[in-house]
Amino acid sequence: MISALDAVSSVLADEGIYRIDLPMRSVSPNVRQVNAWLLARPDGSGDLYDTGTAEARASAGLERALEKAGVRKLDRLVVSHGHPDHVGQALSLRAVHGSELLVPEGLHSPCQEDEIVIRAFLRLAGAPVFDASEAAPWQATSARTVAGGTTLRLGRRLWRAEIQGGHAPASLLLFSDCGRFVFSADQLLPGIGTFVGVSPGRPLDNCLGRQIGHLERLMQVPPDMIALPGHGAPFAGIPKVAAAQIASYRRRLARLLAALERPGTCAQLTGTMFRPPISDIGRMVQLRMAMAFCNFLVEEGALQAGENREGARIFFRAG
């Protein structure tokens, strides 16, 4: 008997679409792999949507997959968003294949995340200073910027681009002309909650509002459309998965609101929202997420924000 997943794989193989499952290191125990998606043409050329990390084992895995699919040349490389697990091999692949590189419009947050910005963010979050410096944002020269509504030819089909924010400043989703597939990046993942946190340089951003708004639109797509996600296996039933993701954000928002019996800073709230972080990177992720959730509740009118004597934002229930 063919399982539902095998059936999806054979539909995709008929289209020349292959999921390349690449290993990756991650701070999250739920994320151990990332997908690069190959769109192959019968003449031995193809296009790639996302590239995996810059790790050597990922690059070897990608090379093997291209060989197996009989693709010798990558004409176009599309990156869904600027995170290292999606762009890691973009520049080296471009150098080897001479590919055109396509990136979403608004790839980066306008503020540079240098040490001063990070320190200001930590003060605003009410957290002590720790070494939270991250790798510099990924940059690519001579890349083509793709705006929402653009039509791209990739593999054997035309794809309509949609730019969405929330998980990253901008994510490029692609809907197929046949209406059956969408490359959904990390905006919607099977069985894994999508991380949403502010950029330290834009601490007042309501990115969770944008994320939920986008999920509400995904609840309108046909239930048999197949999502080709950034992590995990392809899945159908996008409206249900989107609704479950919103419900999960809503549960966390309700917990946060319940925890604010007394006014608190983001640093204080992370203690009630999450398990203790195992690393400084994890601590930063939690603070960015707490700030995003508080901003959402301020925007909704459920919370109000003030400032304490140390210059931290302090949140309290409205009314």
Binding residues for Zn ion (CB under 5 A): 85, 186, 230
Cβ closest to Zn ion, residue 174 vs residue 312:
174
| Smallest distance from Zn ion to CB 48, Å | 15
C-alpha to C-alpha distance for 36 and 90, rounded to whole angstroms: 11
Asked if 292 contacts 197 with a C-beta cutoff of 8 angstroms, the reply is yes
**Helix or strand or coil: residue 118?**
helix
Shortest spacing between CB 216 and Zn ion, in angstroms: 22
Query: Are the C-beta atoms of residues 69 and 38 closer than 8 Å to each other?
Result: yes
Q: Minimum CB separation from Zn ion for residue 186, in Å?
A: 4
Closer of 80 and 268 to Zn ion (Cβ): 80
The dihedral built from the CA positions of residue 160, 79, 24 and 277, taken in this order, carries a sign that is negative
Q: How far apart are CA 53 and CA 77, in angstroms?
A: 14
Cβ at position 2, least distance to Zn ion in Å: 29
3 state SS for 112-151? CCCHHHHHHHHHHHCCCCCCCCCCCCCCCCCCEEECCCCE
CA–CA distance, 290 with 288 (Å, rounded to integer): 6
Give the max Cα distance, the chain.
66
Nearer to Zn ion, 53 or 176 (CB): 53
Question: Shortest approach of Zn ion to residue 24 CB, angstroms?
Answer: 8
Per the listing, tokens 């125990």 go with: 29
Cβ 231 to Zn ion, closest distance in Å?
6
CB of 229 to Zn ion, least distance (A): 9
Residue among 210 and 231 whose Cβ is closer to Zn ion = 231
The residue (of 230 and 232) whose beta carbon lies closer to Zn ion is: 230
Helix runs in 238-316, H state only: 238-259, 266-273, 280-300
Is the Cα torsion angle 260, 264, 270, 272 positive or negative in sign?
A: negative
**What is the 8-class DSSP label of residue 66?**
H
How does strand 45-49 pair with strand 33-40?
antiparallel
Choose among 266, 252, 167, 253: nearest CA to 218.
167
Nearer to Zn ion among residue 227 and residue 303 (C-beta): 227
Q: Which residue number, 51 or 99, has a Cβ lying nearer to Zn ion?
A: 51
